[in-house]
Amino acid sequence: MQYDTKLDAELSQAIMSIQAVKGVEIGLGFEMAQLFGSQVHDEIILSKNKFSRKTNHSGGIEGGMSTGLPIIIRAAMKPISTLMSPLQSVDLLTMKSIQARRERSDFCAVPACAVIGESVVAWTLSKFFLQKFSGDSMEEVRDNYESYNKQIIQRLTKNFYGK
């Protein structure tokens, strides 16, 4: 996997492009840095003749690729810059210290950011989906996707059952 084609890198970039977002984590994210590998790695198991994971600490992405589990992304926003009690600033005309003005009344942009976040994630996932299964029509895209799924099932069946 190349640095510029990793799913987690593209998702992080998309989330960071949202105004006021100052941090992004996927899965356990920053918490992982404080834990041992044995506490964060998602063990691969066989469940009902299908590969799965015991946990999803990686947030559905490992090695820049989807594991097939839910993708979990969290973003941190900075607070809105205008406060009810003004902070110190500088008047650019006089270059003197002044108190900033209160110019707007919104208190929390998090709900709007969540909607925007879902949107940029959807576009990014769509981009990756189309890179894998593209075609000249939606019918061809669907056929490519269904053909891929059949191939995967055949390979797993052959490898698992030796048939």
Q: Give domain limits for the chain.
A: 3-135
Instruction: Place domain 3-135 in its CATH homologous superfamily.
Output: Chorismate synthase AroC (3.60.150.10)
Cα dihedral 143, 149, 154, 155, rounded to 10, equals: 120
Q: pLDDT tens for residues 139-161?
A: 999 999 999 999 988 887 777 66
- What local confidence, expressed as pLDDT, does residue 52 receive? 85
Model confidence at 126: pLDDT above 90: yes
pTM of the model: 0.83
Residue-wise burial string across 21-52, b where 16 or more C-beta atoms lie within 10 A, e elsewhere: beebbbbbbeebeeeeeeebbbeeeeeeeeee
d(CA 118, CA 106): 21
Q: pLDDT tens for residues 88-123?
A: 999 999 999 998 877 666 677 888 999 999 999 999
d(CA 73, CA 34): 19
